[in-house]
Chains A and B, each alone.
Chain A
Amino acid sequence: MADNEKIKVSIDGIPVEVDPGTTILNAARKIGGDIVPPAMCYYSKLEGSGGKCRTCLVKVSKGSEKDPRPMPKLVASCRTTVMDGMEVQNITSNEVIEARKGVVEMLLINHPLDCPICDQAGECHLQDLGFEHGAVSTRYEFERRTFDKIDIGDKIQLHMTRCILCYRCVFTADQLTNQRVHGILGRGDAAEISTYIEKAIDNDFSGNVIDVCPVGALTDRTFRFKNRVWFTKPVEAHRDCPTCSGKVTLWYKGEEVLRVTARKDQYGEVEEFICNTCRFEKKHTADWAIEGPRAVAHTSVISSNHYENLKPLQVIKENPTLKEANKYQFERSVRL
């Protein structure tokens, strides 16, 4: 197969052409919409991430054009590459929905469900996932594993109880920073994120572990209990930063900047990593050049009270012929 030849796959019946070597997840993201599998551990900006959480399970109903047998088990779409003629089922398969519900239950086994306290609530991926797929109650009867809170430096707090072991922060520390300062200790149920003797991270980009964390395990200590996410107003801003791109989102409450984060795309992934100076030090409007309010999905709780997002459905069907015919009248009335 030639290098630049595209291969055809279909996801939930929607055909798409992608480069060879693309994962199913990325092919689905190319289509976009509801058929994109959720991902808790996969992070497109971090090499080697994915394959841990199993929330992105999909069913491959046809392996490829040459070998049309379906794959025997559900596969993790973030780690499985597409084949020519592959047919994938995500939300059209009951099996996948069932399995995902099981995965969410599994992830929530040790999760404390302290959303009313947690600073991540409102932008937490596990919360969204639980809302969409989870069961109402838990069947787990044993004691949940708990840890003490650990301060990683004076700016970041690690709340291991909430951690789902997605390894995103470990990859961030590995790939973004030069010296590895935190990793995972222990195995299986005993695994935990640790900094080795709780050493402070002295790297300029260490704050990004807060942004990559899909749950509230790593949180900003400067924002701790300051306000709830949905009461703050996100505003896009930038500044000339010598170390990073300086493109951030400021979270305002009134005139005060409560928190600075990197800009996140529709999959909750950071567009450009930002440095600690931007994140923790620059908390005045004067430090930033404001670009405008951030577009928030209307389904998100953060969009509450943001009236510019209110787009009521059209009552009357759009009719271009009628519009064209009435154009003169409309312009005339506007002019008058």
Chain B
Amino acid sequence: MESLSNRKKVLEQKPMNFWERMYLPAIIKGMRITIRHFFKKKATVSYPEVERPYSKNYRGMHSLKRDEEGRERCTACGLCALSCPAEAISMISAERKKGEEHLYREEKYAAVYEINMLRCIFCGLCEEACPKEAIYLDGPHVPADYLRKDFIYGKNKLVEERFDVNLLEMANLKQEIN
């Protein structure tokens, strides 16, 4: 039947002539392409020693943020877990006790906060759902590991490093003096 689009290429099979039967020109042609690649710029980088620049809106590992006073912002409202399409997030909330005001921002906080990185699809819906601006997917890649249980990240891996408030204040003071 006739082709409708007329883009079909019909190949003819003919017996090879003498030059083609020698194979040598074909081998030289192939080797030329191969050797040309030795002098080209490498297409890969040796991760993790070298890292490519990430896009600004790259979504990597989650981090639980602290506020300007170094207190945890998360109040365990459960909206991230509710919005999570992969059901990767779970948490247990607790009430803030007297004397813990410098640790937690609100009267309720997440005592346990776990994200299963194998379940997570890095869609960023938790980030969008969070009313307290507590969770952001601003980290690097989630590193590889051997055991499934090691991919369940707890608060020890997720919560942002506490920056030194005093140092920051000192820096601010210095700026003011100058």
A interface residue numbers (CB < 8 A to B): 114-117, 121, 224-228, 230-231, 301, 304
A117, A225, A226, A230: the one contacting B82 at CB < 8 Å is A230
For B107, list chain A residues within 8 Å (CB): 117
Instruction: Say yes or no: B75 contacts A117, CB within 8 Å.
Output: yes
Judge if B108 is at the interface, Cβ distance under 8 Å: yes
For B78, list chain A residues within 8 Å (CB): 227-228, 230-231
Residue of B nearest to A119 (CB): B108
Instruction: Say yes or no: A116 contacts B95, CB within 8 Å.
Output: no
Query: What's the dominant secondary structure at chain A's contact region?
Result: loop
For B61, list chain A residues within 8 Å (CB): none
Judge if B93 is at the interface, Cβ distance under 8 Å: yes
Interface residues of B in 96-132 (CB under 8 A from A): 106-108, 131-132
Judge if B142 is at the interface, Cβ distance under 8 Å: no
B81, B82, B131: the one contacting A301 at CB < 8 Å is B82
Instruction: Say yes or no: A116 contacts B106, CB within 8 Å.
Output: yes
B81, B95, B132: the one contacting A224 at CB < 8 Å is B95
Q: How far is the CA of A115 from the CA of B106 in the complex (A)?
A: 12
Q: How far is the CA of A228 from the CA of B78 in the complex (A)?
A: 7
Q: How far is the CA of A304 from the CA of B82 in the complex (A)?
A: 8
Instruction: Say yes or no: A116 contacts B75, CB within 8 Å.
Output: yes
Interface bracket on B: 10 to 19
- Shortest Cβ gap from A74 to chain B (Å): 33
For B94, list chain A residues within 8 Å (CB): 225
Judge if B159 is at the interface, Cβ distance under 8 Å: no
Please name 7 pairs of A and B residues whose Cβ atoms are closer than 8 Å in the assembled complex, sorted by A: A224-B95, A225-B76, A225-B93, A226-B93, A228-B82, A230-B82, A304-B82
B interface residue numbers (CB < 8 A to A): 75-79, 81-82, 93-95, 106-108, 131-132
Instruction: Say yes or no: B81 contacts A116, CB within 8 Å.
Output: no
Q: How far is the CA of A81 from the CA of B44 in the complex (A)?
A: 79
For A115, list chain B residues within 8 Å (CB): 77, 131
For B106, list chain A residues within 8 Å (CB): 114, 116-117
Instruction: Say yes or no: A116 contacts B131, CB within 8 Å.
Output: yes
- Shortest Cβ gap from B46 to chain A (Å): 44
Instruction: Say yes or no: A116 contacts B79, CB within 8 Å.
Output: yes
- Shortest Cβ gap from A112 to chain B (Å): 11
Q: How far is the CA of A35 from the CA of B125 in the complex (A)?
A: 34
A116, A226, A304: the one contacting B77 at CB < 8 Å is A116
For B108, list chain A residues within 8 Å (CB): 116-117, 225
Q: How far is the CA of A304 from the CA of B78 in the complex (A)?
A: 13
- Shortest Cβ gap from B72 to chain A (Å): 13
- Shortest Cβ gap from B36 to chain A (Å): 57
Q: How far is the CA of A121 from the CA of B93 in the complex (A)?
A: 15
**Which among A115, A121, A228 has the highest number of chain B CB atoms within 10 Å?**
A228
Q: How far is the CA of A225 from the CA of B77 in the complex (A)?
A: 9
For A228, list chain B residues within 8 Å (CB): 77-78, 82
Instruction: Say yes or no: A116 contacts B132, CB within 8 Å.
Output: yes
